[in-house]
Structure 1
Amino acid sequence: MTDGAGRTPLTFTAMTYNLWGRWRVADRMPALRGMLRLRQPDLLATQELHPVSRDTVDAALPGHDRVHDDFPGWATRSNLWWRRDLFSTNGHGAEDVGIRSEHARLFWVRLRRPGAPELVFATAHLTWPGHPDEIADDRSPRVAQSRAIVAALADLAGPDDAVLFCSDVNDYARPLWTFQDAGYAEPFGWLGTVSPVTHPVYPLALAQPPRQPGVQITQKAIDWQFLRGPLRPRSAEVVEYFADGVAPSDHKPVLCTYGFPAEREDER
């Protein structure tokens, strides 16, 4: 079935997942493999990536491609995976949007599917509130970062493109409003509900309790997917998963289903 413009409607799943960097990385990889093999997201955006977790994702999703690039951030900060039988790539990049970590960027890839709009699929990890610079000056950098991301995505996406931006925003309010003000939606609100907690997973996989309890153990929803253009949410879930009592990360992944509409709607 196609619409009048010859486009084929396509439904796919997308997951965003903060993989918690190097923390107990070897202990957590069996759980990460198990969760990804069970859920098999068509698209996967990661934050706090590590070479070990990157290789684990590759092994768990053999039908997927990801970005291969010499810039170190693609191995140590974020990367993007897509099912090769659903999408092909039409370029990728890493834009400096002021995130306060070495090699941290807005990472993006442009994806193609015959008969469907092009999709700009992107991810970024906004600065953690416990960063030494933020502790020193007592000012959040995340609003400026989110505005820079909105501007960068506007440059990357054409008027007929779909955009899916996945992020650990490390905040609960103003960065989200920045995306809303720029015309982005998020799947939970679109579907008439609210996001469950995404951080922290409990019990925490740490030998010692966190040093900043107000930051680390306050339950919060900080992992989000934002969409714009010809893309429609069909479902949204925060995934609970343990294997032998171990979670893959201190964050929970957010898994959503999307469809390219058969017709470009002006109203929801």
Structure 2
Amino acid sequence: MPITPLRFVVGTYNLWNYKYWDSRKESLHQFITLHQPDILCLQELCPQSRNLLDQTLPNHQRVEDSFEGWFREGNIYWNKALFNLIVYGAEEIGHLEKWRRLFWVKLQPKYLDMPPLLVTTAHYTWSGNKQERKDGVNIRITQAQNTIRVLNQFTSPQDSLLFMGDLNDNFLPLQILREAGLTDCFSALGRAPHITRPTMPTLFHVPETLDWILHRGNLKPMNCDAVDFFINNVAPSDHKPVLATYRFLDK
């Protein structure tokens, strides 16, 4: 009888730092309780949201490190029943923000004799950043190029990897990532990417697609969505989370 390949749910979520935290925390708690992604990549993490996630995801592990970026910007949670941590790191890719990095973990699936999985996340610089407005240069192009440089240091084109996060862009950085062999989960399924910001009625803003899940190597998405979620008309963040179910391909 053939063995069913491992399937797991991944998510990326910009948590909006601590803005309006008291009004949003219950909504975030309920979202995580109901959805329980096996791998969760975070941007704009803060100590309050990290504590909430630690309590809401008791069967998950995250990176514990003295570098402040791991609890003031980004982190990665993974289901301990499915994956073991091999190694982790945080790489400079040209951010204008003090604590932002390309955060990554290498995970070993516990079942089916699968190869390691590299999981990475980043929050590219906002296009309204004062320095970018002054220089007139799209810094996200450099950040995307450096992302590929880092990914290629840790993997070959055949290795399984996930890169996800808030790219604050939907064109040139995506083109750079795609030219390096990465595919976003929506395009892989022949679907149009969804709007991920804003989450109305929590925030009114010009609709944008900023949050992405991309993959390369021995992985295939089975479904994906940018999730609308509210408790009493309050969303957990100004961004929608993007969730996707992946499976490892047969060897």
TM-score under structure 2 normalisation? Answer: 0.96
Deviations 1:23-48 (A, max 9, x none): 11222111001001001101000001
Question: Contact (CA 8 Å) 2:85, 2:106: kept in 1 or not?
Answer: yes
Does 1:83 pair with 2:79?
yes
1:184–1:138 CA distance, 2 compared to 1 (3 A) = same
The aligned counterpart of 1:266 is none
The aligned counterpart of 1:20 is 16
Question: Contact (CA 8 Å) 2:9, 2:245: kept in 1 or not?
Answer: yes
Identity over aligned residues, as a percent?
A: 39
Question: Contact (CA 8 Å) 2:201, 2:233: kept in 1 or not?
Answer: no
The aligned counterpart of 2:137 is 139
Q: Distance in 2 between matches of 1:168 and 1:223?
A: 4
- Aligned partner of residue 102 in structure 1, secondary structure: coil
Question: Once the 2 structures are TM-superposed, how far is the Cα of residue 160 of structure 1 from its aligned partner?
Answer: 4.6
Question: Contact (CA 8 Å) 1:2, 1:262: kept in 2 or not?
Answer: no
Deviations 1:196-225 (A, max 9, x none): 1100111235xxx7xxxxxxx210111001
Selected match of 2:220 from 207, 217, 232: 232
Question: Once the 2 structures are TM-superposed, how far is the Cα of residue 158 of structure 1 from its aligned partner?
Answer: 4.2
Selected match of 1:246 from 231, 234, 245: 234
Question: Once the 2 structures are TM-superposed, how far is the Cα of residue 161 of structure 1 from its aligned partner?
Answer: 2.5
Q: Distance in 1 between matches of 2:51 and 2:2?
A: 38
**How large is the Cα RMSD of the aligned pairs?**
1.3
The aligned counterpart of 1:212 is none
Number of matched pairs? 249
Gaps of 5+ in 2: none
Question: Once the 2 structures are TM-superposed, how far is the Cα of residue 135 of structure 1 from its aligned partner?
Answer: 1.4
Task: Specify which structure has the higher proportion of strand.
Answer: 2
The aligned counterpart of 1:38 is 34
Q: Distance in 1 between matches of 2:134 and 2:59?
A: 45
Q: Distance in 1 between matches of 2:127 and 2:184?
A: 23
Question: Once the 2 structures are TM-superposed, how far is the Cα of residue 132 of structure 1 from its aligned partner?
Answer: 0.7
- Aligned partner of residue 183 in structure 2, secondary structure: coil
Q: Distance in 2 between matches of 1:230 and 1:125?
A: 25
Alignment of 1:167-178 (within 5 A): 167-178=165-176
What amino acid is the match of 1:66?
Answer: R
Question: Once the 2 structures are TM-superposed, how far is the Cα of residue 262 of structure 1 from its aligned partner?
Answer: 1.2
Q: Distance in 2 between matches of 1:106 and 1:38?
A: 28
Question: Contact (CA 8 Å) 2:183, 2:215: kept in 1 or not?
Answer: yes
What amino acid is the match of 1:148?
Answer: N
What amino acid is the match of 1:102?
Answer: K
The aligned counterpart of 2:98 is 102
TM-score under structure 1 normalisation? Answer: 0.90
Q: Distance in 1 between matches of 2:115 and 2:246?
A: 13
What amino acid is the match of 1:144?
Answer: T
- Aligned partner of residue 91 in structure 1, secondary structure: strand
Q: Distance in 2 between matches of 1:158 and 1:78?
A: 25
Q: Distance in 1 between matches of 2:202 and 2:131?
A: 26
The aligned counterpart of 1:130 is 128
The aligned counterpart of 1:204 is 202
Does 1:221 pair with 2:219?
no
